[in-house]
Copies of this chain bind each other. A is one copy, B any other.
Amino acid sequence: MRNIKLIIEYDGTSYHGWQSQNNAVAVQDVIEKALLKLTGEKCSIIGSGRTDAGVHALGQVANFVTNSNIPPEKFSYALNNILPDDIVIRNSEEVPLNFHARFSATGKKYRYVIYNSRQRSALHRNRAYFVPYPLDFHSMEKAIGYFVGTHDFTAFKAADSGVKTNVRTITGTWLKKDDEIITFEIAGNGFLYNMVRIIVGTLVEVGIGKLSADDIPYIIESRDRRKAGRTAPPHGLYLMEVYYPEKNEMTDDYARDLRII
C-alpha cells in the first residue's frame, strides 16, 4: 500500500470547483474517474482544500492510497493520457503513509490576476478580473503590506464560513504590473473562505481611490465584513502552491498533533 502525492494544474473554467458536488462535475471527480480507469481501484483522493467554480490551480496538491504497482513517478504520465486537456498532473511521488494533503499542509500561496484596461480582453477573459477603471498601482502596493503578519481576518471572510478561529498569518504579499496585467500574490499559513478574493476586491477599491491604503489596518481591526471591498470574481484566482514540512520533519508525532493517526 502506497500513499501517492499529486501536484495538479487545472483550468477551472469548465468545473464546479475542486470538490465533488451533486449534479456538477468537479476536478476531483474527473481525477478519481481517471484513477479508476488506470488502476481498477475506486479510491478517493484528498485535496489540500477546495477551490470554487472558475478558480484555477497551478499547484493544487492531493493524495491517495493505492495497491497499484505502477511506479509512483509514472502516475503523472499515465493519468495525463486519460485526463481531459484542462487538467494535468504536474508531478507524482510516493510520500509517507501519514501524509495528508489537507491536514499536513502548513501554508498556501495564491495568485490573483487583474486585467486593467479600457476594454475587456479576449485572451484573458476566463483568466483575469477585468477592471476598466484606472488603478493607482502605488497605493495598492502600499496597501498589500498591511496584510502581512498575524491578524484576525474576520473582515475578509465570506459570511457563511464556519471555522473555529479567524486568525491567520500572512507571510508575504507581492504586486507587480506588466502592461495591462496586475498580478497579486499572497502566501500564508491558511486562508478563510473567499479571503483572497475579498482582499483583492478591497485592493481594487484602494486602486480606484474609494479607499486609502492606510484604511486597511482599520478595516482589519473592525472585523466587519462590510468595511472591506467586494469579493473579486473567481476566475482571476490561482492556487499556486501548497506548503508541507520537509519529509524528514513529518514524524508520526507531527501527524498525531494533526489528529490524522
Contacts and interface: CB of A to CB of B under 8 A. Distances in A.
A125 interface: yes
Contact of A9 (B10, B58, B122, B127): B122
Q: How many copies make up the complex?
A: 2
Q: How big is chain A's contact interface, by range?
A: 20 to 34
A4 B109 CA distance: 46
A169 interface: no
A121 interface: yes
Contacts of A85: 120, 122, 125
Nearest to A58: B123
Interface stretch (A18-26, A86-94, A214-222, A247-255): A86-94
Interface string A63-96: 0000000000000110010000111111100000
Residue of A56, A88, A91 most packed against chain B (CB within 10 A): A88
A89 B118 CA distance: 11
A122 B76 contact: no
A66 to B, nearest CB: 20
A123 B11 CA distance: 5
A122 B9 CA distance: 6
A161 interface: no
A119 B86 contact: no
A127 B123 contact: yes
Nearest to A8: B122
A125 B86 CA distance: 7
Contact of A80 (B80, B120, B127): B120
Interface in A94-139: 117, 119-123, 125, 127
4 residue pairs, one from A and one from B, having the closest CB atoms:
A88-B122, A9-B122, A85-B125, A11-B122
28 contacts: A9-B121, A9-B122, A9-B123, A10-B122, A10-B123, A11-B122, A11-B123, A11-B125, A56-B123, A58-B123, A76-B119, A77-B119, A80-B119, A80-B120, A85-B120, A85-B125, A86-B122, A86-B125, A87-B122, A88-B119, A88-B120, A88-B121, A88-B122, A89-B119, A90-B117, A90-B119, A91-B119, A123-B127
Given A10-B122, A11-B122, A56-B123, 9 more contacts: A9-B123, A76-B119, A86-B125, A87-B122, A88-B119, A88-B122, A89-B119, A90-B117, A90-B119
